[in-house]
Amino acid sequence: MTEELSEQIAENRARAEMYRLLASVFFRELDESQIATLKAAPLAAPEEGRMKRGSDAVYRAFRLAAPDVLTRLRVDYARIFLAAGVYEGDTAVPFESVFTGEEGILMDEAREQVVAIFRAEEVTVDPELQSPEDHLSFELEFMAILSDRLAEAWEREDEAEARRLMEVQASFAQDHLLNWMPDLAERVSSFAKEPFYPAFMDYAIGFVEDDESWLKDSLAQ
């Protein structure tokens, strides 16, 4: 195996790991282990750009956090992503349909599109979760799964499959992540009482933007 192939495999394993980290933070409230990890060191980021700003802001949020940060963040998560205490107007529930559909409701066209893409790639969401497939966490996990498959394609030296997977990922990032994550970020900022979730949204968008650019550059070479 060439050095270039080894680098591709390592790069895609790292991409999968990062996408899973992002997915875990948006899926449910943070636990003590996650907080300890986030407090220990800044999130990986380039030397400049949106990811860097988000990483620095996340690190500051925890370095300056109150002793009861776990409770505060659980309350903030419920307020932001579960719309706890929100009885009218816009919400920040993290479903693509809410942000891209004309009616701003769950189970709209975006969800059907995502289901079709997942089905084409033989990816399923556990039905016991009882949540629409266009939840931000499921979309990020989809990117993680395909990143692992991309690493496996490079291990087999299957360039055609690697290229196909990169095309699927680049399209999905553009059409089903970056098309609504910035709007979600605005609402997160409006509902949040603590600095963590707005900062982490900034980091997540920066990562997906950089990743989409990396995919497009890779496909062009």
pLDDT in tens, 196-208: 999 999 999 999 9
Distance CA 221, CA 209 (A): 19
Residue pair 178/94 in contact by the 8 Å Cβ criterion: no
Q: Poorest-confidence range of 37-46, 116-125, 191-200?
A: 37-46
| pLDDT tier, 105 (very low <50, low <70, confident <90, very high otherwise) | confident
The 10s digit of each residue's pLDDT in 123-135 is 999 988 889 999 9
Q: What predicted TM-score, i.e. pTM, was given to this entire model?
A: 0.95
Tokens for 41, please give them: 């060191």
Largest CA distance in the chain: 58
- Domain boundaries in the chain? 3-88+107-220
| CA 166-169-174 angle, 5° bins | 125
Structure tokens at 98: 């809410």
pLDDT computed for residue 220 by the predictor: 94
Token couple for 201: 């949204």
Query: For residue 176, which of 140, 219, 132, 124 has the smallest C-alpha distance?
Result: 140
The percent of residues in the chain predicted with pLDDT above 70, rounded, is 99
* CATH number assigned to the domain with residue range 3-88+107-220, chosen from the 4 options 2.20.25.570, 1.10.3480.10, 3.40.50.10440, 1.10.10.10: 1.10.3480.10
Residue 57's nearest CA partner among 37, 38, 72 is: 38
Backbone angles phi, psi at 183, to 5 degrees: -70, -40
